[in-house]
Amino acid sequence: MQSRKISFPLVLINFKTYRESSGKKGLELAKVAERIAKETGIEIGIAPQLTDLAFIASQVEAPVFSQHVDDVEPGSYTGHVTLEAIRDAGAIGTLVNHSERRVRADQVDTIVKRAKQLGLTIVVCTNTPEVTAAMAALSPDMVAIEPPELIGTGIPVSKAKPEVVTNSVELVKRVNPNVKVLCGAGITTGDDVAAAMRLGTVGVLLASGVVKAKDWEKAIRGLIEPLIKK
Ligand code: G3P
């Protein structure tokens, strides 16, 4: 099991179920991200496909997240994913309630509470400022505001819908200031990341801008460029 804590700013790359980031290719992408993170000191997390989680986590030091988890304990739950299983696979935490894998609020509540006992980091994905505030009330480590209509479009939330991000940041401050806010959807360039940081986030959650890029190294270096202290 990994035990290290996350530092901020954080760039978290979700591999989703893209072919470009499956299996051995997923490991290659994880290694590229790890190398750049080590060289620059910028925290780059990865969320590989569930079936690749243990395989990739055993070969990189980068913080590895699951893409999803269920609210069940180990036992008689065919097809479910437990917090214990992702921990034993080497993940330090998990995304939950992604717009492509929604989970009920009461289930998120159970997951957050159980994750605290297990020392796992939870990033709850949300779609609106109001849902972000509601999820922040459950005290996860992070929330990630991602308007679903911008996901995979290359149109960055931090530029196209800055008010969604700033309203989320404001509401989270009021509801539970301990919760850190990421934003995602369409984030592709360093400029998009810089805009996200200016809006009050501590980092970004993204997928296609890296996974679908012809040159992963160039894409990741471009993204983190504004985060490097000169
Ligand atoms: O989890 C990240 C995500 O949903 C955003 O996807 O492809 O717009 O970066 P993408």
Distance (Å) from CA 76 to ligand 1 centroid: 32
Burial 112-142 (b: 16+ CB within 10 A, else e): bebbeeeebbbbbbbbebebbbbbbebbbbb
Distance in angstroms between the alpha carbons of the first and the last residue of the chain: 34
CATH topology for 10-227 is TIM Barrel (3.20.20)
Residue 152 CA, ligand 1 centroid: distance in Å:
6
- 80: annotated active-site residue: no
98 is catalytic: yes
For the stretch 174-184, pLDDT in tens is 999 999 999 99
Q: Does residue 1 register a pLDDT over 60?
A: no
pLDDT in tens, 105-152: 999 999 999 999 999 999 999 999 999 999 999 999 999 999 999 999
Residue 3 in 3-state DSSP?
Answer: coil
Q: Give residue-wise pLDDT tens across range 18-71.
A: 999 999 999 999 999 999 999 999 999 999 999 999 999 999 999 999 999 999
